[in-house]
Amino acid sequence: MLYNARKNYEKAQEIPIPKDGQVSRQAINLYDEVIKKCEMVIATYPTSKWVDDAILLMGKAFYEQGKYDEAIVKFMELEEAFPESELNEEAIFYIGRSYLMKDDEERAIRTFSRFIDRYQKSKFNNCLVLLISG
pLDDT, one tens digit per residue, over 79-129 is 999 999 999 999 999 999 999 999 999 999 999 999 989 998 888 877 776
CATH number of the domain to which 35 belongs: 1.25.40.10
Contact between residue 83 and residue 117 where contact means Cβ atoms under 8 Å apart: no
Whole-structure pTM value: 0.92
Confidence of residue 18 (pLDDT cuts 50, 70, 90): confident
Is the per-residue pLDDT at 130 higher than 70?
A: no
Tell me the C-alpha to C-alpha distance, in Å, between residue 34 and each of 37, 39, 127, 130.
Answer: 5, 9, 25, 28
Is the per-residue pLDDT at 65 higher than 70?
A: yes
Structural domain range at position 122: 2-133
| Per-residue pLDDT at 19 | 84
Overall number of domains in the chain: 1
Q: What is the C-alpha separation between 134 and 131, in angstroms, rounded?
A: 5
